[in-house]
Amino acid sequence: MTFYLPLSLILGGALFLILLLIAYCYRHAAASKLPLLSEPEQLRGLLQLMDNGILVASHTQQIVFANPAALSILGLDSSQLPQLYDTQLTQFFCEDGQAVRYEDAGLWRSFSSAEAQRELRLGISVSAAPIKYLLFNTEPIFSKQNPEQVEFLLITMRDITSARKAERDLREREAILARVFQLVPATLTITRMSDGHYIDVNRNWEPLSGFTREEALGRNSSELKIWGMPEQRTKMIEQIAQFGEVHNMIIAFRHKQGHIFQCRVSGSKFEAGEGAYLLLSVQNIDQEIATENAKIKAETLLRESERKYSNIVQLSPIPLGLIRMQDSCLVELNDSWVTQFGYTREEAVGRTALEMNFWYDLQERERLMLKMREDGMLDRFEAHIRTKAGEILICLISVRSFVMKGEDLFLFCIQDVTRQYQVEQEIRDMTLQLEERVIQRTLRLEHANLELANAMESLKYAQDELIRSEKMVALGKLVAGIAHELNTPIGNGVTVASTLQDNARALLSAMDEGSLRKSALQQYVQSALTGTDILMRSLGAARDLIGSFKQVAVDQASNQRRTFDLKTLLEEIVATLSPMYKKGPFGLVLVLSAGITMDSFPGPLGQILTNFLSNALAHAFEGREQGEMRLSTQMQDPDHVGLVFSDNGVGIAELDQKRVFDPFFTTKLGQGGSGLGMHIVYNITTGILGGTIRLESELGHGTRIVLVLPLRAPEISLDANA
């Protein structure tokens, strides 16, 4: 037989030597053709003493040799070896604990592959015994007759159940430690002492430093330039070299972005394998430092506040005192308290109010204490307090409870209102006197108001009379003008009629005498035709003038609402007013838009135009030899029309412009003006007609009055404006 043993089968020095001996024996027997019974038996004895389990299986997969170590590992004796082939009694398992079939276990694979197997890990359970995990190595032994056929299979085994459990426990501990390493809230780093390279960092490293884990591993802190003050690194290394560790060292680090932050660092050196390593715990304390600084600042502010409030309490003009709740003793008071009640600080501090005979009425004290127990506070409680000199003061007491330095305290504020109460009593007495005076004055005032009301009523009646008088004056002027205008056509008619009368008498006389000639008759007829033509024109003019006057007079007298064409109405009104300016040097120009229909009050509108014209003729052209007035209309929007009356006269002073619409305002007082004309215009425009009025004027450049009127006047009663 040829026996091949590769040197890679390393199962311990002694076993390797024995296998070499076996190989030597087989070679020696084949060369000398001598029986070697004694030498294999000696080798068998040596194999029996080996700690590693050794099995030899034939090509029929029958175990032909098993040393005691193998039997011990399997938990069998030599007679039970056949159980290894019984699939009912023996079960194989993968390393992950999953059961596998006998033929798939891989232990006998070398028979078919003719190759050795190394480090084969299998679990085995015989006769329902606990699973043992074994480490197998196999080596094929080839047949001499057929070198390609595996004759025997040498199997070595080692029980790794305990080692496997230890490895699993170690892996679990390593996983736990790795998890803890990552979950620790502080930043942890592991560096190699020899070169300072980072071996590992936990997940807090990147938020702290700005460097990723990949950027840090394999590089040292100097390469990353994370030391804000390199001398601190030198000092830390010296302490670790001397003591093996460092605790709570404050170190400035530089972030990847460049800003410096303060950290608390603790670390320890440890050995692993053949190298030394350093475990560091780093915690950013910028927030802690800021908090500490804020705390220091707050404490400073608190001390300053205490000092300030102490000064405020001492400087307060109102007596203030602190009383300890436990024993009711005074523990502090301000200067106003000392001044108010006459006790020195030494006489009062440490004593109770009862000991100082402070309360004039003890029942008031009981009510105060009851109120404090119910509400925990008190505001303006009235009580009578006795001073050291025995004077009784009326005081308002306010109390607040608080805790200071572990003690429950009351802050008392005692305000002396004795003088205030005296003054209030004096005021009450004066009030009674004043009430009597007020009653008397009220009676006199009521009498005066009654007289004033009567005077106002008389004044209103006089104003109404003046307004009616103003209307009558305007109407009188209108009648006078119309009468003057009618005089010409009527006079012409009278002249023509008298002429026709004389001619008719002459013709009749000639007829009676028989001296009538054809030529005389023709002359009479011709003169009659001419006379009647003149008469018809004169009477027609009179008729038109009377018609306009009649409509205007009716409108102004009745104040009736009706629908009218604005252009036609204004032309009729102007026709009746023409005698006022027709023979003078002043003219009126009409620029009226056609087609504007209004549902309004033509009478008040005529009154407005009459007042405009009268006012302009009276005031606008003073000192002027000629002038022009202009009346124009234009639509402002679909519901409103604008009416503008303007002149190129002397204008109105700015101071007087604000008073133009005031009642009884006139610049010609005592010269016939009542001062109500423009006031009436304002009232009619804003009241009856429901519009607005605006005056624009400049000295030397005339006056412009703008009315904006609704096409449909508001529905109102005219009784008050009649």
Q: What is the CATH number of the domain that holds 613?
A: 3.30.565.10
Of 521, 541, 575, which residue sits at a domain end?
521
CA distances from 686 to 12, 494, 645, 710, 714 (A): 128, 48, 17, 11, 10
Rounded distance between C-alpha atoms, residue 189 and residue 40, angstroms: 60
Question: Which domain does 125 fall in, by range?
Answer: 13-164
**Contact call for residues 594 and 563 (beta carbons, < 8 A):** no
Same domain, 402 and 425: no
- Check residue 538 and give its pLDDT: 67
**Contact call for residues 708 and 640 (beta carbons, < 8 A):** yes
- Identify the residue with better confidence: 170 or 700: 700
H or E element, residue 407? strand 407-416
In a domain, 528, yes or no: no
Band of pLDDT at residue 540, cut at 50, 70 and 90: low
CA distances from 86 to 61, 82, 206 (A): 12, 7, 59
When pLDDT is averaged across residues 1-5 and rounded to a whole number, the result is: 33
Same domain, 387 and 425: no
Rounded distance between C-alpha atoms, residue 571 and residue 551, angstroms: 12
Of the listed ranges 5-14, 96-105, 653-662, the least confidently predicted one is 5-14
In a domain, 39, yes or no: yes
- Check residue 265 and give its pLDDT: 92
- Check residue 11 and give its pLDDT: 38
In a domain, 582, yes or no: yes
When pLDDT is averaged across residues 216-240 and rounded to a whole number, the result is: 89
- Identify the residue with better confidence: 704 or 70: 704
When pLDDT is averaged across residues 447-456 and rounded to a whole number, the result is: 80
Band of pLDDT at residue 673, cut at 50, 70 and 90: low
Rounded distance between C-alpha atoms, residue 72 and residue 66, angstroms: 10
Same domain, 587 and 705: yes
Model confidence at 500: pLDDT above 80 = no
Would you give the distance in Å from CA 512 to the centre of its chain? 119
- Check residue 554 and give its pLDDT: 45
- Check residue 549 and give its pLDDT: 55
Residue ranges of E strands in 574-648: 586-591, 597-600, 627-637, 640-647
Neighbouring C-beta atoms of residue 527, cutoff 10 Å? 14
In a domain, 171, yes or no: no
- Identify the residue with better confidence: 356 or 23: 356
- Check residue 470 and give its pLDDT: 58
Model confidence at 162: pLDDT above 90 = no
- Identify the residue with better confidence: 13 or 589: 589
- Identify the residue with better confidence: 636 or 404: 636
In a domain, 575, yes or no: yes
Rounded distance between C-alpha atoms, residue 111 and residue 102, angstroms: 14
Rounded distance between C-alpha atoms, residue 668 and residue 671, angstroms: 5
Of the listed ranges 195-209, 293-307, 610-624, 684-698, the least confidently predicted one is 293-307
Model confidence at 671: pLDDT above 80 = no
Q: Which two tokens stand for residue 348?
A: 């009062």
CATH number, domain of 117, equals 3.30.450.20
The residues that bridge with 629 in the sheet, in sequence order, are 588, 647
Closest CA to 591 of 549, 565, 629, 542: 629
CA distances from 480 to 32, 118, 576, 671 (A): 182, 148, 10, 20
Give tens-digit pLDDT for 261-282: 999 999 898 887 778 898 899 9
Q: Which of the residue ranges 358-362, 582-586, 618-622, 647-651 has the most confident prediction, judged by mean pLDDT?
A: 647-651
Band of pLDDT at residue 416, cut at 50, 70 and 90: confident
Model confidence at 711: pLDDT above 90 = yes
Band of pLDDT at residue 567, cut at 50, 70 and 90: very high
- Check residue 29 and give its pLDDT: 43
- Check residue 41 and give its pLDDT: 62
Same domain, 105 and 210: no
Q: What share of the chain is helix, strand, coil (3-state, %, to 5)?
A: 50, 25, 25
Same domain, 577 and 704: yes
Of the listed ranges 287-296, 304-313, 393-402, the least confidently predicted one is 304-313
When pLDDT is averaged across residues 395-405 and rounded to a whole number, the result is: 83
In a domain, 469, yes or no: yes
**Contact call for residues 198 and 189 (beta carbons, < 8 A):** yes
DSSP code of 434? H
Mean pLDDT of the chain: 80
Same domain, 384 and 253: no
| Percentage of the chain exceeding pLDDT 70 | 82
Q: Which of the residue ranges 38-42, 80-84, 582-586 has the most confident prediction, judged by mean pLDDT?
A: 582-586
Model confidence at 5: pLDDT above 70 = no
Band of pLDDT at residue 28, cut at 50, 70 and 90: very low
Same domain, 495 and 601: no
Of 109, 136, 164, which residue sits at a domain end?
164
Same domain, 224 and 251: yes
Model confidence at 229: pLDDT above 50 = yes
Band of pLDDT at residue 722, cut at 50, 70 and 90: very low
- Check residue 264 and give its pLDDT: 92
Residues with Cβ within 8 Å of 451's Cβ and at least 6 positions away in sequence, in order, are none
* pTM of this structure: 0.35
Same domain, 619 and 706: yes
Same domain, 501 and 432: yes
- Check residue 115 and give its pLDDT: 87
Band of pLDDT at residue 624, cut at 50, 70 and 90: confident
In a domain, 7, yes or no: no
When pLDDT is averaged across residues 447-452 and rounded to a whole number, the result is: 82
Band of pLDDT at residue 2, cut at 50, 70 and 90: very low
Of 387, 416, 445, which residue sits at a domain end?
416
Model confidence at 292: pLDDT above 80 = yes
CA distances from 464 to 161, 656, 690, 720 (A): 130, 24, 21, 10
Residues with Cβ within 8 Å of 394's Cβ and at least 6 positions away in sequence, in order, are 382, 384, 416, 417, 418, 421
Model confidence at 107: pLDDT above 50 = yes
Band of pLDDT at residue 481, cut at 50, 70 and 90: low
Rounded distance between C-alpha atoms, residue 264 and residue 511, angstroms: 156
DSSP code of 104? G
Residues with Cβ within 8 Å of 217's Cβ and at least 6 positions away in sequence, in order, are 197, 198, 199, 200, 201
Same domain, 583 and 671: yes
Same domain, 347 and 450: no
In a domain, 304, yes or no: no
Q: Which two tokens stand for residue 472?
A: 């009558």
Question: How many structural domains comprise the chain?
Answer: 5
